[in-house]
Amino acid sequence: MLKTVCMSQDGACPGDFMLQNVNCPHVKLGQEFPGVAFRGHLCSLPKLMEITSSSHASHGNHKENSPFLNSSEAGKGGDYYDRNLALFEEELDIRPKVSSLLGKLVNYTNLTQGVKEHEEAESTDGSKKKVSKSPSMGTLMGVYLPCMQNIFGVILFLRLTWMVGMAGVLQSFLIVLLCCCCTMLTTISMSAIATNGVVPAGGSYFMISRSLGPEFGGAVGLCFYLGTTFAGAMYILGAIEILLTYIVPQAAIFHPSGAHDASSAMLNNMRVYGTVFLILMAVVVFVGVKYVNKFASLFLACVVISILSIYAGAIKSIFDPPEFPICMLGNRTLSRDQFDVCAKTIVKDNITVASKLWELFCHSTNLTTENCDEYFVMNNVSEIAGIPGAASGILKDNLWSNYLEKGEILEKAHHPSVDVAGQKNNLHLYVLSDIATSFMVLVGIFFPSVTGIMAGSNRSGDLKDAQKSIPVGTILAIVTTSLVYFSCVLLFGACIEGVVLRDKYGDAVNKNLVVGTLSWPSPWVIVIGSFFSTCGAGLQSLTGAPRLLQAIAKDNIIPFLWIFGHGKANGEPTWALLLTALIAELGILIASLDMVAPILSMFFLMCYLFVNLACAVQTLLRTPNWRPRFKYYHWALSFLGMSICLALMFISSWYYALVAMLIAGMIYKYIEYQGAEKEWGDGIRGLSLSAARYALLRLEEGPPHTKNWRPQLLVLLKLDEDLHVKYPRLLTFASQLKAGKGLTIIGSVIQGNFLETYGEAQAAEQTIKNMMDIEKVKGFCQVVVANKVREGIAHLIQSCGLGGMKHNTVVLGWPYGWRQSEDPRSWKTFIGTVRCTTAAHLALLVPKNVSFYPSNHERYNEGNIDVWWIVHDGGMLMLLPFLLKQHKVWRKCKMRIFTVAQMDDNSIQMKKDLATFLYQLRIEAEVEVVEMHNSDISAYTYERTLMMEQRSQMLRQMRLTKTEREREAQLVKDRHSIARLESLYSDEEDEGDPVPENIQMTWTKEKCDAEKRNRGSAVGSFRDLISIKPNQSNVRRMHTAVKLNEVIVNRSHDARLVLLNMPGPPKNTDGDENYMEFLEVLTEGLERVLLVRGGGREVITIYS
């Protein structure tokens, strides 16, 4: 099948076409080629005849005919093999068949980070593009050995003997057990996550981010990155320590000028050489990772040979211990590198002369003791075996801990000595403790020697069967390394003298590596082996860390890291490598292996903690997608692992632990507020759902107490014809009232049929959400499609919210322009909504002149919020100004409360009572009682009522005559042809019973007479408008509205906001239009008014 570009002369490319008179050896005449076009240079096409296009051609879903069908069968239709799926043929455009889906999944290749880009860069010519090799690594080569190589490291060779000497065999067992339990439990959790689906390259970062979400993933990913980077620095420092202390001490650049600055000179040497090594390693990684991978097996061989030499030496020490004598002065250990003979005097030519040791302590070659160190004079010099051997019984002396403070001399317990103070200037002649030690310090230093368990999961893309290899390989590696550590602790305690174990740098054994003194056949096996293995581990760290950073940067969850997602043309992370080198340089400038180790311990422990958390959360939530192939996990094990990680963090260094948590917390919050939002189906989202469900079920138990009551808003928004929010200040007001607390639902109604207007509803919802973001409204949006706007509003009022999280207050816009409109439906919808909220026992807020309300950027530095408390409605009028004043816009406004006193009320007592009531409510406000005298109804009131009723009567008559004209003309009115109304209060919404599609009238004599009578009465009623008399009830209501308005305008004309009781609508619907007029009169002359109607319950209380 040839799939190329169509080059027909008219430029059109038919879906299916037949070839005739084709000069092409590869095709037959009359053969159909559905959805295929040919380049002119491949086949000459003198004549191109279009055949009937397939039904799918227009959708771009061309189907290839089966190669097993002959041309006659093919001609019956391109969908021959889909005949059994005819029922689903309309869905095949958007939903693939199972066969094609499985075909894509089988062909899925899982490449490691950077490999794909590397291959594409190397094979720029498409014809020479290499076929990517399928993953082929097994458990041994892919997981077990890489984990072994990463776990065994510098600590085993440089610090394990010292740890055993300080902590003793028993506490060393405990340290190793704690650390190995931590990694084993983490491995169990990691295995469950790694076998729950395909894990692409990215290892722990990918697992945590996809399990706990981008915030945790980014925070822990960066912690893991920093840990790996500092591990690189630690390995380099270990290599330099081996080089300068045991291989070529003469290569040191800085030399101690005095006896006491040896450590500072050593640290400076470490900094210089460490920086040089780091640059060299970074260059090697930059030039090519393949060189690092080629030497990986060599470095692993060095580690294995070194460990085997330790076991060989331990076995040999049983019957032939190596000769490493230690010189003791009393019970103090002497540093052997400054003298050769362990004696105070030596016999030379039958003459007893002072030894080098005497000269060092007495500062003279004479055998006089006047200037000698007192301790030197009082105690004897003796030699003991440094490696007594496994059969010597030294184990019982090394069982218990022997922690030392910094600068303390290494002493052998129970060795004969006279306890006198020596001279301080001779301290450099003894072996001293360079740092203060404790169980906690040793845990922090040892933990990096059990890290590296992620090596297998990081290579998941190269494994033949990652879901089987990762758990088996990693667990076997941990078991192997744990056994090696336990056996080494036991062997060191059983074979080596305690003071030698506590001698970190081998000063007592002629600057030999302590573990090297035990090894067989030579100490150099361990020295050289450990040097190469630490260099290799450093290279591995500098290779892995930049790729991890690149993976995080490419996920784009931390915007400022985007630059580190780029690299060389072959995908090598150049910028990430540069940053990694700079961070590693910080570790090298610290220069002390013992200080760098706890830092990376923190970052690794943080990472392991979250791996355990991810597994525990997924297990407890029982999410449907949680189906790991590895079955030997349990949430309790994950929690235990998490607890051990947390405990180890604070045991090893509580201040480093707090810093690491602070860094992770800052990254978490940064991603939460600034990072790109990702939906990865993570467990934290599931946890939120479970917590929300639990909370909702708790809320359902009963209505909230008055103390907990707050307005949960349903804001009814009006949209214009272009689906834009007509009055965005309603949202502004809602955000100022709520300040992000409680529930806010923004609702709107679109008129029409749901099936036809679903797309518009979605667009309207998105528009409202965008406006909510702009106005900083935290809440939910709900758009309802209904045949009538009033019905849609009723649906919203009834059904919004869930369980206990339902709205209790409705915010409704004022129907501006209702007087000018001939159609009553706009204000009828408004009044209907007021009745609905009253029936549902909900509070109602109607902001009038909402476009004059302040935006969130304005500030009122002065002014008043006036509350006109006319009837008690549960305290809403008191609570709303208090809530508004929490917002920065209204914060500096003062609150004034006015109440109305009638003639028979004691206004002085009312004012006192109101002040007391406000004091008990803890609300600060000025109190004023306004007296309203019983005045006669003014002519203005009477005139206003008359105008209102005349206008109402006139509009009624106009609507009546219009209906008659429509009936006479037999107007065909299709209800669904009415233009869809986006507004909340429709001017075009049809009220009353539906009109039949066609009005068929048969005129009889009786009907004709009735029509004439009706017409006559209609004309007569227009004349009656002039002689109409107003209803006395309406006159009374108008009188109240006018008098109240006068008082309110007089006192509150300059107020920033006026809150006012909203009178309820009349029970008789005939007076609805008059009700609107009363509200207009009541609020006339006021710039910003908030009409408030309570929901029938107390919302504020004087009790605590």
CA atoms within 13 A on the CB side of 221: 34
> With 80 as the cut, is the pLDDT of residue 433 above it?
yes
Stronger pLDDT, 59 or 743, i.e. the higher one? 743
Q: Residue 149 is which amino acid?
A: Q
Question: 716-749: per-residue pLDDT in tens?
Answer: 988 888 888 888 888 888 888 875 577 889 999 9
Confidence at residue 627, expressed as pLDDT on a 0 to 100 scale = 87
680 in helix, strand or coil? coil
Distance, in Å, from the CA atom of 255 to the CA atom of 269, rounded to the nearest integer, reads 9
Name the least confident of 470-484, 528-542, 827-841, 997-1011. Answer: 997-1011
Confidence at residue 217, expressed as pLDDT on a 0 to 100 scale = 81
Name the least confident of 216-230, 366-380, 1017-1031. Answer: 1017-1031
Question: 11-54: per-residue pLDDT in tens?
Answer: 444 444 444 444 444 444 444 444 444 433 334 333 333 333 33
Average pLDDT, integer, range 618-633:
85
Average pLDDT, integer, range 1086-1101:
78
> Predicted confidence band at 220 (pLDDT cuts at 50, 70, 90)?
confident
Question: 371-401: per-residue pLDDT in tens?
Answer: 788 888 888 888 888 899 888 888 988 999 9
Q: Judge contact between 531 and 247, C-beta under 8 A.
A: yes
Q: Judge contact between 292 and 540, C-beta under 8 A.
A: yes
Q: Judge contact between 47 and 40, C-beta under 8 A.
A: no
Q: Judge contact between 867 and 877, C-beta under 8 A.
A: yes
Stronger pLDDT, 737 or 107, i.e. the higher one? 737
- Which of 388, 559, 455, 460 has its CA nearest to residue 194? 460
Confidence at residue 886, expressed as pLDDT on a 0 to 100 scale = 84
- Which of 384, 394, 474 has its CA nearest to residue 169? 394
> Predicted confidence band at 646 (pLDDT cuts at 50, 70, 90)?
very high
Report the first-to-last Cα separation within the chain, whole angstroms: 82
Distance, in Å, from the CA atom of 287 to the CA atom of 299, rounded to the nearest integer, reads 19
Confidence at residue 966, expressed as pLDDT on a 0 to 100 scale = 53
Place of tokens 């709107």: 748
> Predicted confidence band at 181 (pLDDT cuts at 50, 70, 90)?
very high
Q: At what angle do helices 523-555 and 214-242 cross, to 10 degrees?
A: 160
Confidence at residue 95, expressed as pLDDT on a 0 to 100 scale = 63
Confidence at residue 824, expressed as pLDDT on a 0 to 100 scale = 64
> Predicted confidence band at 557 (pLDDT cuts at 50, 70, 90)?
confident
Going by their DSSP bridges, the two strands 1057-1061 and 864-869 should be labelled as parallel
Q: At what angle do helices 1032-1052 and 939-968 cross, to 10 degrees?
A: 120
Average pLDDT, integer, range 861-876:
82
Average pLDDT, integer, range 412-416:
84
Q: Would you say the C-alpha torsion 469, 470, 472, 474 has a positive or negative sign? A: positive
- Which of 671, 637, 558, 628 has its CA nearest to residue 199? 628
> Predicted confidence band at 839 (pLDDT cuts at 50, 70, 90)?
confident
Distance, in Å, from the CA atom of 550 to the CA atom of 548, rounded to the nearest integer, reads 5
> With 90 as the cut, is the pLDDT of residue 1027 above it?
no
Stronger pLDDT, 972 or 655, i.e. the higher one? 655
Tell me the CA distances in angstroms from 306 to 161, 445, 506, 529, 593, one per residue in order: 15, 21, 18, 6, 21
> Predicted confidence band at 578 (pLDDT cuts at 50, 70, 90)?
very high
Number of H helices, E strands in the chain: 34, 18
If you average pLDDT over every residue of the chain, what do you get? 76
> Predicted confidence band at 239 (pLDDT cuts at 50, 70, 90)?
very high
Question: 668-689: per-residue pLDDT in tens?
Answer: 888 877 755 666 666 667 777 7
> Predicted confidence band at 271 (pLDDT cuts at 50, 70, 90)?
very high
Please state, as a whole number, how many other Cβ atoms lie within 10 Å of the Cβ of residue 690: 15
Stronger pLDDT, 627 or 1027, i.e. the higher one? 627
* In the chain, % of residues over pLDDT 70: 72
Name the least confident of 51-65, 840-854, 1058-1072. Answer: 51-65
Name the H helices within 622-728.
Answer: 635-652, 654-674, 683-699
Range with top average pLDDT, 167-171, 250-254, 744-748, 754-758: 167-171
Tokens representing residue 843 in the block: 């509070």
Name the least confident of 536-550, 641-655, 889-903, 943-957. Answer: 943-957
Range with top average pLDDT, 235-244, 773-782, 1032-1041, 1042-1051: 235-244
DSSP per-residue string spanning 540-609: HHHHHHHHHHHHHHHHTSSGGGGGGG--STT---HHHHHHHHHHHHHHHHH--HHHHHHHHHHHHHHHHH
Name the least confident of 473-477, 778-782, 912-916, 962-966. Answer: 962-966
Average pLDDT, integer, range 855-877:
83
CA triplet 853, 858, 861: central angle to 5 degrees? 100
Average pLDDT, integer, range 925-944:
66
